[in-house]
Amino acid sequence: MLPKLQYISQGDTPVMHLMHIESALDAGVSLIQLRLKNSSDELYLDLARRVKTLCDAYDAKLIINDRPLVAQGCGSDALHLGLSDMPVPEAKQLVPGKLIGGTANTFEQVKQRCTEQVDYIGLGPYRYTSTKEKLSPILGLEGYRSIIRQMKAEHLHTPVYAIGGIELNDIASIINTGIYGIAVSGLITQSDQKETLVKEINHLLYHA
């Protein structure tokens, strides 16, 4: 089972990504997604290898966003694919044995991801977030309730992570919709009490 809390890296430079990831690991996060946009494969792979070493030291799992060859090259645990990234079946051939996650915004896309047999779905955005370009329509609690209801009706059991602008006081309500976990970025990056925050988040995720 994957941890219910996923930290998605952010930063203006690779060094900042590394620094934010280390402080998230230090605070007790055990699932990291490295999301380095608009960089060369070489730069991405160099950072990914350093992040993998860090994750290993903390006994945490690493997801690489978007780049199958980087995932393969750094020995990550998983690969996450957006809707406009490489098709899942193709990626599975490139990185056999790795977990694969996929983004979705609608129930139809959730069904597609389940058909593709991804290991988890990142469903969002929950609300507006400045960390993502080309934002899909906002889902909110009602959107999650509706999609989870439809998943249950069609016996689809892939774990779903809520993503997009999630704050601490949103978590209990989100989990009560039947969502498996959450993926956050700014919530942890911007906190000056990361360890306390991560404990609070995990308490809500596992006891809501």
Main-chain phi, psi angles of 33, to 5 degrees: -110, 120
Whole-angstrom distance, CA of residue 61 vs CA of residue 138: 28
Q: How many angstroms from the chain centroid is the CA of residue 64?
A: 9
For residue range 17-31, list pLDDT tens digits in order: 999 999 999 999 999
The DSSP secondary structure of 130-183, one letter per residue, reads: TT-SSPPPP-HHHHHHHHHHHHHHTT----EEEESS--GGGHHHHHTTT--EEE
Q: State whether the Cα torsion 32-50-134-78 is positive or negative.
A: negative
pLDDT tier for residue 208 given thresholds of 50, 70 and 90: confident
Domain limits for position 97: 5-207
The CATH number linked to 20 is 3.20.20.70
Whole-angstrom distance, CA of residue 31 vs CA of residue 78: 10
Domain total for the chain?
Answer: 1
Can you give the pLDDT at residue 177? 97
Can you give the pLDDT at residue 166? 97
Residue 164 structure tokens: 């997009």
CB 170 within 8 Å of CB 187: no
Main-chain phi, psi angles of 184, to 5 degrees: -130, 160
- The reply to whether omega before 125 is within 30° of 0 (cis) is yes
Whole-angstrom distance, CA of residue 132 vs CA of residue 164: 8
- Sole residue written with tokens 């809501």: 208
The pTM (predicted TM-score) of the whole model is 0.96
For residue range 7-62, list pLDDT tens digits in order: 999 999 999 999 999 999 999 999 999 999 889 999 999 999 999 999 999 999 99
> Among residues 198, 3, 206, which one has the least CA distance to residue 99?
3
